[in-house]
Structure 1
Amino acid sequence: MIRGILLDLAGVLYDGGRAIDGSVRAVARLTDAGVPLRFVTNSTRAPRRKLLQKLQQMGFRIGPDQLSTPASAACAALTASGRRPHLLIHPDLTEDFADLSEGRAGTSVVIGDAAEYFTYDAMNSAFRALTDGADLLALANNRSFRDADGALSIDIGAYVAALEYASGQKATILGKPARGFFEAALASMGVDAAEAVIIGDDAEADVAGALSAGLGRAVLVRTGKYSKGDEARFTPAPSLVADNLAEAVDLLLPEITSQQ
């Protein structure tokens, strides 16, 4: 039984600045079928305001309450701990951390995909904060992503590993594949994990991560960062494999409509 669906963004809904063929219509079909949707991303360069704007301009019907980002998870963690952030992120993302710096005891290093801002000085400043007692919050831990030029580029995971190695401290991962990230998205829909499906292009973080977190099924799409053989590269393996989001919806929609 399918009571809710989690959808990855980059590589599933869009590549670069354009929607993947059929993806806008595929999301509209799910929405029209009445199935609750949450859009879950490990994107950490753009603030949620710009992500929503980008999706809406592409034609996707999505509201602010439907988007789950690692930055939102980090803000919740910082609020709960009463710590202030030492940010090692892309400057565009800083607006998501507004009002979290003042009047707080203790520090958490928050690392996201800083891209060209991963300088030695920035990394060393974060390292020194860790040696002074800060804990380490990683917005994600992905190995690679499909860049705007169509090729794979190194992602945040290597930089997280560098800080872990230098400081001897283990990072708390806040985005996919962290169980808590999936659980928060499901809780916002009131959906049990066993009755949820995720559709993603990352066999490790999206598929294996979600299944390990208890989701009932996971669909791997052959778009975005997918590479030949990914369906057999990680455990647990995907429940289904589809060429793209449109085909994934074709596979799932008959079951959804039969429940109504």
Structure 2
Amino acid sequence: MLRGVLLDLGGVVYDGETVIPGSAEAVGRLRAYGLAVRFISNTTRSPRAALVRQLAAFGIVVAEHELVTPAGAARDWLLRNRRSPHLVVHPKLRPEFDGVSFEGAPAVVVGDAGDTFDYAMLNAAFRQLMEGAAFIALANNRMFKDRDGLPSMDAGAFVAALEFASGVKAEVIGKPAPAFFHAALAEMGCTAQEVSMVGDDAESDVAGALRAELGCALLVRTGKYRAGDETRFSPKPSAVVADLAEAVDHILSKVG
């Protein structure tokens, strides 16, 4: 029995500063049906409070606990493992790590630092890794659809560069790590088979969700989707749909 739905944000609900037509109404339909909805995003440029404001501007009211992000997962990891962060993240994301007392050995935490990525930043992180620091990747995505509508490199390339140089393998906190999906399920109070995922990334969103044993994972042809993505990664999507509105039609047709 379906009890909840996980939704990616960028490329599914909105593109840059523009809501994808029908998305707000689609979220409303899921909630009206009584399904639990959580937004599970690999975005590492904005804190949760900024995402809440952005969604509200699109007519989607979301509480912070309904947003599952890698920064929150990383903060929990640092506290649990008594590590102090060496942050390689976008300046806008740094407040997510404020107000928490960290102690212990360092952990390099890498996200999408955008235009602030430079050699000095990466080399400082490399040196920390060479001294024995742990290595946490907030996400390992290859690319994303930028605000100009064109593809841009995501954090995965920089994570790979540090792995190559240091010989240290990063622990990925965000999608497609099964633990990230499972944290969202635990917050919802649902089992994996009771939840469907909707995303525009066939690798991280869809294949990741299915490897985490979610009951269903739908790939939308919006955002970063490119023709043939559904055949490039395994497991394959449960279905490929035009957009979030069609995804909700599909989901509700299965439970109605």
CA–CA distance in structure 1, aligned partners of residues 117 and 4 of structure 2: 37
CA drift at 1:65? 1.3
Give the unaligned 5+ runs of structure 2: none
Does the 8 Å CA contact 2:37/2:66 hold for their aligned counterparts? yes
In the other structure, the counterpart of 2:90 is: 90
Q: Which amino acid aligns with 1:128?
A: R
2:120 is aligned with 1:121: yes
Q: Which amino acid aligns with 2:247?
A: A
In the other structure, the counterpart of 2:131 is: 132
Does the 8 Å CA contact 1:84/1:100 hold for their aligned counterparts? no
CA drift at 1:2? 1.2
In the other structure, the counterpart of 2:229 is: 230
In the other structure, the counterpart of 1:14 is: 14
TM-score, with structure 1 as normaliser: 0.97
CA–CA distance in structure 1, aligned partners of residues 156 and 241 of structure 2: 27
Alignment of 1:141-160 (within 5 A): 141-160=140-159
Does the 8 Å CA contact 2:52/2:61 hold for their aligned counterparts? no
Q: Deviations over 1:55-81 (max 9, x none)?
A: 111111221111000000000000001
Does the 8 Å CA contact 1:4/1:197 hold for their aligned counterparts? yes
CA–CA distance in structure 1, aligned partners of residues 101 and 171 of structure 2: 20
Alignment of 1:99-248 (within 5 A): 99-100=99-100, 102=102, 104-248=103-247
CA drift at 1:101? 5.6
Does the 8 Å CA contact 1:127/1:166 hold for their aligned counterparts? yes
CA–CA distance in structure 2, aligned partners of residues 165 and 101 of structure 1: 31
Q: Which runs of 4+ in 1 moved over 4 A?
A: none
CA drift at 1:235? 0.4
CA drift at 1:255? 2.7
RMSD value, Cα: 0.9
In the other structure, the counterpart of 1:253 is: 252
What secondary structure, in the 3-state scheme, does the structure 1 residue paired with 2:108 have?
strand
CA–CA distance in structure 1, aligned partners of residues 21 and 156 of structure 2: 29
Number of positions where the alignment pairs a residue of Structure 1 with one of Structure 2: 256
CA–CA distance in structure 2, aligned partners of residues 61 and 50 of structure 1: 13
Q: Which amino acid aligns with 2:200?
A: D
Q: Which amino acid aligns with 2:222?
A: T
CA–CA distance in structure 1, aligned partners of residues 99 and 35 of structure 2: 35
Identity of aligned residues (%): 53
